Each structure stands twice: as structure tokens, then as C-alpha cells.
């Protein structure tokens, strides 16, 4: 395979990964909005890292607790998507590596 062919495959792969991440972020935002999370959380809540949410693991736990308390009826995968959305938008914690399916 030529260098150009390899480069094209790398660019295509990165484009697909980027598109997938963007789709997950859009889906996470949509789910967050549909669950009316802002009824309980003020925007300032996300501007600082509170003592309760100071790691990706704690953020994930908080999202799951909120989903249960609000009756959001999310599957674990849904809570993961919302967690990743909130982390990308507000917290910027180092996320653990995803498990391969």
C-alpha cells in the first residue's frame, strides 16, 4: 500500500471517530435536555467542580443518581452518553478507557 493510501485511511478513520463522538455529544445533550435536568441544576452548578463531583467516576455516579431520582428511565449506556456529554462540556475529567465490545 502506498503512503497516500495509508494517509487516506487514517484521515477517514479519524473522520469517522470524530463524527461518532459528535453524534454521542449531540445525543447526550438531547437526553440531558429531555430529562429536564436544569429544573434541579442551576448553570452555575457546572461551572465549578464541587466536592461531590471531582472525578469522572463521581460524575458518572451523580448522573445515574439523578436519572433514577428524576425517573429518566435511561439504560446504563444512556447514562454513559450523558456523563460523557457533561464531562466534555463542563468538567474535563480524564475519562477511563472504554471497554471493547
Each domain of the chain, given as residue ranges in start order, spans 23-101
Q: If you write DSSP's letter for every residue of 55-80 in order, what string do you get?
A: SHHHHHHHHHHHHHHHT----HHHHH
* CA 25 – CA 6 distance, rounded (Å): 29
Contact residues for 36 (Cβ-Cβ < 8 A; gap 6+): 70
pLDDT tens string 9-65: 554 444 444 445 556 889 999 999 999 888 888 887 776 666 778 899 999 999 999
* CA 78 – CA 31 distance, rounded (Å): 8
User: Which among 38, 39, 66 is positioned nearest to 52, based on CA atoms?
Assistant: 66
Amino acid at each position: 500500500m502506498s503512503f497516500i493510501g495509508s494517509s487516506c485511511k487514517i484521515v477517514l478513520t479519524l473522520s469517522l471517530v470524530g463524527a461518532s463522538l459528535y453524534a454521542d455529544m449531540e445525543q447526550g445533550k438531547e437526553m440531558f435536555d429531555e430529562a429536564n435536568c436544569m429544573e434541579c441544576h442551576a448553570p452555575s452548578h457546572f461551572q465549578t467542580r464541587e466536592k461531590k463531583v471531582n472525578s469522572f467516576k463521581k460524575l458518572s455516579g451523580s448522573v445515574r443518581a439523578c436519572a433514577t431520582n428524576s425517573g429518566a428511565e435511561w439504560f446504563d449506556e444512556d447514562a454513559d452518553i450523558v456523563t460523557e456529554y457533561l464531562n466534555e462540556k463542563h468538567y474535563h475529567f480524564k475519562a477511563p478507557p472504554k471497554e471493547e465490545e
